[in-house]
Amino acid sequence: MLLKTYVGLKAGQEVLAQRRQPKASTPTAESRRRTIEIFGEDITPELSVRRILDDVRRDGDKAVRNYTRLLDGMDDEALEVDKQKINNAPSQVDAALIEALTLSARRVEDYHRSSMPEGWMDPARGLGERLIPMQRVGVYAPGGTASYPSTVLMTAIPARVAGVEEVILCTPSTSPAVMAAAAIAGVDRVFRVGGAQAVGAMAYGTESIRKVDMICGPGNLFVTLAKQMVYGEVAIDGLYGPTETVLIADDSADPLHCAADLLAQAEHDPLASPILVTNSASLAEGINAELDRQLALLERKDIAVTALTNGGCIVLVDTLDEAMELANQVAPEHLCLLVDNPWQWADKVRNAGGVFVGQYSPEVVGDYVAGPSHVMPTGGTARFSSALGVHQFLKSMPIIGLNAEGFPEMAKAVSTIARWEGLTAHARAMEIRMESSQEVTSHE
C-alpha cells in the first residue's frame, strides 16, 4: 500500500504535527554542485540568496544579468520582453488553451470583483476609512522545468481588480503560453528574470526594473528565502512551501474520485502532502487500490509515488467530528470535503487556505478556473493568513475628522491618559484647544 494508515485521532495528530514542521532547507546534490560552480564554495541556500540579493542591491542590472546567465543559461538577451511579443502571444498558442485561459481569467476577475471591500465615511462621527491600492506590484511566476500561465492569471488579475496602477511580471519562462496569460491578465511589463535575483530586482529596483511595493507569487526554496529576506523593504503575500491537501471522506465518497484527487496533489512535487482523513476503513482500502491502478497512467508517476510514500498518509478516525478537528489543527492549504451533506461540514472549517465542497469541486478546479486565486497559504499558515486576493493589494487608511461635538469628553480622556503616561505635550495639545474654545465662548 502506498499510503500508510494511522489509526485514531491522537495518532493522526502526532504524525501530522511532525509533517507540518518546516522542512530543512537542504539543497539537492545538483543544487550544491551549481552553488560550488557559481560561488566557488559549498554554502547554504540562505547564504547563497543573501549574496545574490546583496549583489543585486549594489550592482543592479549587471548582477541580474550575471545571475540570469549563470543560473538560467540566458545570455545576451534583453531583460525585458518586448511588448509586441506579449501582445502577439495569444495568436501563437493553441486556440483551446487560449479559450481555457480566457474562461479562467473571466472567473478570477468576477470572483475578486465580488470580494472588493468598500471604504466608508461617517461625517457625524468624524471617522472613516479609505482603501488605497498599491501603486506597483511585482508578480513572480515559476519556470524552469515547467511553466505556469495559470499562476500569472491568479496573481496579476487580483492586483488589477484591486486597482494597482502597474503590474510587472518576472519569470524565467517566457513561453508563448505564459506571455499569452500576461496579455490576458493585463500585465504591464514582463522581465525574463527568475530566482532570487528577480526578487531582489523587484525589491530594490534596478536600471531596468522599477522598485515595487509588493512581491507576490510562489517559487522554489531560493525564491521563498529571497522573499523572506526582502520583507520590510517591500510587502510580500506570503511564504509558500510544497503543496498540501487534506481530503475528508466518508462511505458516501467514490474511491475513484478520492484517489484521483490525491494523485493530482502528489504529482506536483516530491515534497507534496496528499492526506486522507476518513472514518471508513473500507474506503481507505479501496482508495489505496485505486492509487495503484491510476498511477500507471501518470506521466509524473515517479514524483507522485515519492510524494505519496514520503508526505502522504491515511488517518482513520472514529467520526467526522474528529476528522474536522484534525483538519483544523493541520490548517492545510486545501481542504476537500467528499462526505454526505458536505455543506453541513463546511461551516465547521476554521483553518484552511481554501475549502472544496463536494464531488464537483475537486481541488484541481481551484488550480485553474474556479475563481479564487490558487496562491494559498501552506505549512499551517492558514491559521493566520488567507489566499491571495484583492485585500492584500489594498492599504487601509483611517480618516479622522472630528468636530466640536463630543470634543470636550475626548479632550479630558486624552489629557488623563497622556499625563498618566508622562507625555505632557500630548496632554497640552488637547488642553490648549479646550482653553481656546472656552475663551472664545466667554467672549461671545
Over 50: is that where the pLDDT of 24 sits?
no
- Whether the CB-CB separation of 256 and 270 falls below 8 Å is answered with no
Average pLDDT score over the chain = 92
The pLDDT of 213-222, averaged and rounded, is 94
What domain range is 169 assigned to?
A: 83-237+391-395
Question: Which one of 361, 387, 413 terminates a domain?
Answer: 387
- All cell numbers assigned to 203: 525589491
CA distance 236 to 139: 10
Read off the pTM: 0.92
Residue 334 has pLDDT above 90, yes or no: yes
- Is 348 inside any structural domain? yes
- Kindly state whether residues 227 and 334 are assigned to the same domain: no
Q: Do the bridges between strand 120-122 and strand 127-133 make them parallel or antiparallel, or are there none, so unpaired? A: antiparallel
- For the ranges 27-31, 197-201, 255-259, which has the lowest average pLDDT? 27-31
pLDDT band at 73 (very low <50, low <70, confident <90, very high): confident
* pLDDT above 60 (res 434): yes
**74-78, 328-332, 381-385: least confidently modelled range:** 74-78
CA 308, CA 89: separation in Å to the nearest integer?
37
Confidence tier at 442 by pLDDT (50, 70, 90) = low
Q: Cell numbers 492558514 correspond to what residue?
A: 382
**More confident of the two residues 146 and 357:** 357
> Among residues 267, 334, 363, 374, which one is catalytic?
334
398-409: average pLDDT: 90
C-alpha span between 125 and 333 (Å, rounded): 41
- Do 266 and 349 lie in one domain? The reply is yes
Which of 17-26, 115-124, 173-182 is least confident?
Answer: 17-26
Are residues 211 and 255 located together in one domain of the fold?
Answer: no
Distance CA 74, CA 87 (A): 22
Mark whether 221 and 254 lie in a shared domain: no
Q: Within this chain, do residues 162 and 183 fall inside the same structural domain, yes or no?
A: yes
Question: What is residue 32's predicted lDDT score, i.e. its pLDDT?
Answer: 81
Helices 95-115 and 176-185 pack at an angle, to 10 degrees, of 40
Residues 211 and 286 in one domain: no
pLDDT of 76 above 90: no
Catalytic residue among 267, 322, 333, 363: 333
| Rounded average pLDDT over 294-300 | 92
Confirm whether 334 is a catalytic residue: yes
Q: Strand runs (DSSP E) across 104-198, as ranges?
A: 120-122, 127-133, 136-140, 166-170, 189-191
Note whether residue 57 is domain-resident: no
Residue 137 CA to residue 337 CA, distance in Å, equals 34
Instruction: Note if 333 is an active site residue.
Output: yes
Regarding whether 246 and 316 lie in a shared domain, the answer is: yes
